[in-house]
Structure 1
Amino acid sequence: MVWKRNTNGRNKYYKKFINMKLYLYIFSLLLSSFTFAQSKTTAIVEYKQVNNGYFRSHYYCTLFIEGTTTIFLPKYNTTYVTEGEKINNEPKEIYPDWEYLKIDHGKQQICFFGAFSTNFFLIKDDYNKLNWIISEEVKTIGGYQCTKATTNFRGVDWIVWFAPEIALPYGPWKLHGLPGLILEASAGKGSPKWIVEKIEYKNGDIFDKDFKMLVDTKNKEAIPLKEFLEKNKEWSDNVTAKMKQERPDSTIYTAPIRGDYEEKYEWEE
C-alpha cells in the first residue's frame, strides 16, 4: 500500500494565507498612495541677497515652491555690515505678511501687496513670458552645475545661473521659465545679487493660508498693477501740490513710482 499525504486542507489554508497577504499588500499600497496625496511637500529655497554698494548689506529671502505655485518672501530683519566686518548675528526667520509675492504659474496669476499713505492694497500683475537667452557658460554653485542665462524684463537686464538637474522652472522674485531652478540672479552692475544658501524639501502649511486675509487691505479683490501705480501717483502728486502751496519757495523732489527691479512697464512702450 502506498500512502499519500492529504495536502488538500493545507493547500486550502495556504491559498487563503497568500490571498490575505496579497490583500494586505494592495491595501498598504493604496494607503500609502492616499497618505502621499494628502501630504504636501514644499521645496524651500533660501537665498542670501548681497548688496555690495556704498552701504554693504546682507539679508535673506526664501522661495517656497509647491506644485506650480511659488511664494517669495524676504525675512523681516536686515543685517548691515561695513567693509571688512563679519556678520555676528543670524537673521530671524520672521516673514512680514505684506511682503508676500505669490505666483500661480499654472493659472498665470501674480498677486502681492502694495501701500501708499496708510492704506494697503491687494495687487495683481501680468504674467510675463521672459525671453531667456541661454549661453554655453557654466559654473558650479552649491555643488550643482549651473548654466548662465540672460533676459531683459521691464527695462532691467538680468543675469542668472540655473541648475538643470533641479527640474523646477522658478527663481527669486518674478523670475521664471528656465529649464531648472535659478540659484543665482543679479540685475546689472552694482545691484543686489541673490545667491542660494540652501535647498530643502519638507511638508509645509504656508500655501494653506488665505492670501487675501493676510493683510487688511483697502480692496478685497485685486486691482491691476497699472491701476495701483496710477492711484499711487495721484496721491503723491496731491501731497506734492499741497507741500508746494504751504512752502512755495522750497524745492520738492518727487521720486518716480516704480518697482524695485522695474524701470519701464509694457504699457509705457
Structure 2
Amino acid sequence: MKTAALILATFLITALNAQQTLKIRYNYINHAKPNTYMMELQAQNNQVLSYTIRLTKVGAGKNIRYKQTADSTRLFKDYTNEYLIYEESLGRDNLVIEEQLNLFKWNTTNDRDTILEYPCKTAFAEFRGREYKALYTTDLPFTAAPWKIHGLPGVVLKVTTTDDVLSYTAETIEISDAEGLLYRPFDHKEPINYNDFCKKYKDYRKEVIKIRKQRARQQNRPEPENNKAPRVEIIIPENRFILNEN
C-alpha cells in the first residue's frame, strides 16, 4: 500500500509539474486615461492571472522611451469555482473586491477574423455602461481572457468597446511547461463584494469633489464643472446608479 501511495504521489507531482502555462501580452489602450499601457496574462489549470502595467514616457524627441511604473493592477480568475478577485485603489486605500463569474452575457455572430494566425469568432456583450466586442479562438487548449472579460469558450485575443474607449489586442502568445501553481496574489486578503465597493467609491468621489471645490474657492478660480471619474465601468450596484443618489 505504501508503495502504491508513493507511486500515486509521484505521478501527481509529475502531472502538476507537467502542466502548461499560457502567456499572452496585450497592447492595452484606454482613451479615458492619457497613458500608455500593456497587459500580461497567465493561464493555467482553469485559472487566469492578468495584470495591467502603466508605461510612462521618459525623454524627448528621438530619445523618448517608456519607463515601467509599479502601479500595475492585478486580477485573478478561477473558472472552476466561478469567481474573480481584483484590486482597486481609492486614494491611498487599496481594496480587494470579489465577484462571481456571471457578469457577461454574450451574443455570438457569424463574423470571423484572424489574430496572430489564430482563427477567431466574434461576440458582443453589454457590461456596466458599455458594449464590448470580443474576438476569441478555440484553437488554444485554455479558457482565458484579459481583465474581467469571461464567459466565452477558448481564449480571447482582442477586446474593444464599441465607443472606442478601451481595447486589448494580443501581441504575443507563448505556451510553456509550468513549474508549480499559478501565483494567487490575494490568498491572504479579505475581499469585499462589489456593492460594498460601490458605496465606498461613492463616498470617495464625494470627498474628492468637495476638496476640489474648496481648493477652487481658496485659489479664487471657477469650481470644476466635470466631476465624473474617467472609469471604464459605470458604478452600478444591483443595477442602480448610486452615484446619482442624494
Structure 1: where are the runs of 5+ without partners?
A: 1-26, 214-219
Alpha-carbon deviations, 1:137-194, whole Å to 9, x = none?
A: 1121111111111111122111111112124332111111212211111012332321
C-alpha distance 47-79 of structure 1, shift in aligned 2 (>3 A): farther
The structure that has the greater radius of gyration is: 1
- Does the 8 Å CA contact 1:50/1:58 hold for their aligned counterparts? yes
Compare relative contact order (CA 8 Å, sep 6+) and give the higher one, 1 or 2: 2
- Please provide the CA RMSD for this pair: 3.7
What percent identity do the matched residue pairs reach? 20
Is 1:150 equivalent to 2:124 in the alignment? Answer: yes
> Which residue pairs with 2:44 in the alignment?
66
Question: Any residues of structure 2 matched to 1:56-205 within 5 Å, and which?
Answer: 58-78=36-56, 89=65, 96=71, 99-202=73-176, 203=178
Q: Distance in 2 between matches of 1:115 and 1:129?
A: 21
Count of residue pairs the alignment pairs up:
230
Alpha-carbon deviations, 1:62-81, whole Å to 9, x = none?
A: 1111112111101242459x
**Which amino acid in structure 2 is aligned with residue 106 of structure 1?**
T
**Which amino acid in structure 1 is aligned with residue 102 of structure 2?**
N
Q: What is the SS of the residue equivalent to 1:207? A: coil
What is the TM-score with the length of structure 2 in the denominator? 0.75
> Which residue pairs with 2:232 in the alignment?
261
Which region of structure 1 is more displaced relative to structure 2, 198-207 or 60-69?
198-207
> Which residue pairs with 2:243 in the alignment?
none
Is 1:223 equivalent to 2:201 in the alignment? Answer: no
- Does the 8 Å CA contact 2:21/2:43 hold for their aligned counterparts? yes
Alpha-carbon deviations, 1:207-234, whole Å to 9, x = none?
A: 3455255xxxxxx521112212212322
**Which amino acid in structure 1 is aligned with residue 24 of structure 2?**
V
- Does the 8 Å CA contact 1:73/1:95 hold for their aligned counterparts? no
C-alpha distance 78-39 of structure 1, shift in aligned 2 (>3 A): farther
Q: Distance in 2 between matches of 1:253 and 1:221?
A: 37
Q: Distance in 2 between matches of 1:198 and 1:146?
A: 15
- Does the 8 Å CA contact 1:79/1:87 hold for their aligned counterparts? no
> Which residue pairs with 2:3 in the alignment?
none
Q: Distance in 2 between matches of 1:263 and 1:138?
A: 30
Of residues 44, 48, 61, the one that matches 2:27 is 48
**Which amino acid in structure 1 is aligned with residue 123 of structure 2?**
A
Q: Distance in 1 between matches of 2:11 and 2:181?
A: 24
- Does the 8 Å CA contact 2:76/2:184 hold for their aligned counterparts? no
Q: What is the SS of the residue equivalent to 2:55? A: coil
**Which amino acid in structure 2 is aligned with residue 261 of structure 1?**
V
Is 1:236 equivalent to 2:205 in the alignment? Answer: yes
**Which amino acid in structure 1 is aligned with residue 199 of structure 2?**
E
C-alpha distance 91-49 of structure 1, shift in aligned 2 (>3 A): farther
Pairwise CA distance, 1:100: 1.0
What is the TM-score with the length of structure 1 in the denominator? 0.69
- Does the 8 Å CA contact 1:168/1:181 hold for their aligned counterparts? yes
**Which amino acid in structure 2 is aligned with residue 48 of structure 1?**
N
> Which residue pairs with 2:16 in the alignment?
37
> Which residue pairs with 1:216 in the alignment?
none
C-alpha distance 181-88 of structure 1, shift in aligned 2 (>3 A): farther
Q: Distance in 2 between matches of 1:31 and 1:116?
A: 46
- Does the 8 Å CA contact 2:87/2:95 hold for their aligned counterparts? yes
